[in-house]
């Protein structure tokens, strides 16, 4: 199933399953080099990686970060440039789950 996703022209299937501890571990391992944000086609505000990481992990979510999370369409462009092999897509997914829970749903 996964393989078919990589065939040219087929629907791109992205696996989004990472557990909370894994996402937290990756957030802690983030070195803040900004490569993921530089590669991101969806980011519009000037979001810094420290704020994004803190708000993905816990606490209130600010307006620019919420706007960014909404415009993120999980394309995965952020994953390949990461020098330490982390998965910003999974972190963004977790941020979206947190947003839904904290009432940013609409």
Binding residues (CB under 8 A) for another protein: these are: 1-3, 6-23, 25-26, 28-29, 31-35, 38-39, 41, 48-51, 54, 73-77, 79-87, 90, 93-94, 97, 101
Nearer to another protein, 44 or 84 (CB): 84
What's the min distance (Å) between Cβ of 99 and another protein? 13
DSSP helix/strand/coil, 106:
coil
What's the min distance (Å) between Cβ of 43 and another protein? 12
Nearer to another protein, 69 or 90 (CB): 90
What's the min distance (Å) between Cβ of 40 and another protein? 8
DSSP string, 67-83: HHHHH-----TTTTT-T
Nearer to another protein, 49 or 67 (CB): 49
Tokens linked to 71: 């415009």
Q: What is the Cα 65 distance to its own chain's centre?
A: 11
Pick from 20, 21, 29: nearest CA to 93: 20
Nearer to another protein, 53 or 67 (CB): 53
**How far, in Å, are 17, 26, 45, 103 from residue 89 at the CA level?**
10, 11, 18, 21
């Amino acid at each position: 199933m996964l393989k078919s996703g990589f065939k040219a022209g087929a629907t791109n299937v992205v696996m989004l399953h990472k557990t909370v501890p894994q996402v937290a571990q990756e957030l802690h391992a983030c070195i803040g080099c900004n490569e993921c944000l530089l590669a991101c086609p969806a980011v519009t505000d000037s979001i810094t990686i420290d704020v994004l990481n803190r708000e993905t992990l816990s606490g209130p979510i600010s307006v620019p970060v919420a706007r960014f999370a909404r415009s993120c369409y999980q394309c995965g462009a952020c994953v390949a440039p990461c020098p330490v092999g982390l998965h910003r897509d999974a972190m963004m997914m977790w941020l979206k789950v947190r947003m839904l829970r904290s009432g940013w749903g609409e």
